[in-house]
Structure 1
Amino acid sequence: ELTGIFYANNKPIFVNLLGPESGFNGRQGAYLKVKDRSHRLWTFWCSVRKTSYPKPVFSSGWLQFSHHYNLRIGDKITLRKQLKRDVSNGVQYKIEVQRKINLFGKDVWAHVL
């Protein structure tokens, strides 16, 4: 779920997602190919902080993605690794954006298209 800090910096931080097979190979970062629900391909630069708390951070490409989906505080971003048999054209992850809406008096999560 997006928080104010997350939104203000326009850079999400994903912890424990990439793992050792991230493709960093000892480098500080790598490009990740990500496909959204409409099969549009996005490329994000994912780097690891040089501090004692090396969390992965998306930068390049993320701002365009956040503008395309008009991301807001409270939106939910889901990033899933592709199974090896599902990987095509180097796409490594699927990404989904959901927004909480009120439907007949109940809050539900709806996919943002």
Structure 2
Amino acid sequence: MENNTIVFSKRLAPTDTNARLAIPITALEHIEGDNILRCRDSAGTEWQFKFYTRPNGQPKPAFTTGWLDFVRAKELRIGDVVTLSKQEDEYKIHAKRAINLMGQEIMVDL
């Protein structure tokens, strides 16, 4: 049985769609390796994000370089939800948007 851990899930704010993705500090315990995080989306495309933390004081982790390429490719906007999960040694990134379908709000993959 595969171990699938949700690293974080976040509703996007303005800074997340036009500069960098600020991620929760609690995600740090699940992210390993150098300052480049490699992950795959639901279509199997590999994405690389530079992972940045401030060296002094509060870490304030964020994905920087490569993040806006993902935003543009998926046409992400404020309010969309991005989830990063880890399955075995591989990271997966998913983007979803809430849409209204016949009076019901549903989440669709982007």
- Matched pairs, number: 99
Q: Which residue of 1 aligns with 2:7?
A: none
Secondary structure of the residue that 1:17 maps to in structure 2? Answer: helix
Higher relative contact order (CA 8 A, sep 6+): 2
| 2:41 pairs with 1:43 | no
Alpha carbons 1:11, 1:62 under 8 Å: kept = yes
Larger Rg: 1
Compute the displacement of 1:49 (Å): 1.4
Alpha carbons 1:49, 1:57 under 8 Å: kept = no
Q: Which structure 1 segments of 5+ residues have no match?
A: 25-29
Which residue among 40, 57, 73 is the counterpart of 1:68? 73
Please show how residues 1-113 of structure 1 align to structure 2 within 5 Å.
1-8=11-18, 10-15=19-24, 16-19=26-29, 22-24=32-34, 30-83=35-88, 87=89, 92-112=90-110
AA aligned to 2:107 is W
TM-score normalized with structure 1 length: 0.79
Q: Which structure 2 segments of 5+ residues have no match?
A: 1-10
AA aligned to 1:100 is A
TM-score normalized with structure 2 length: 0.81
Whole-angstrom distance in 2 between the partners of 1:43 and 1:64: 10
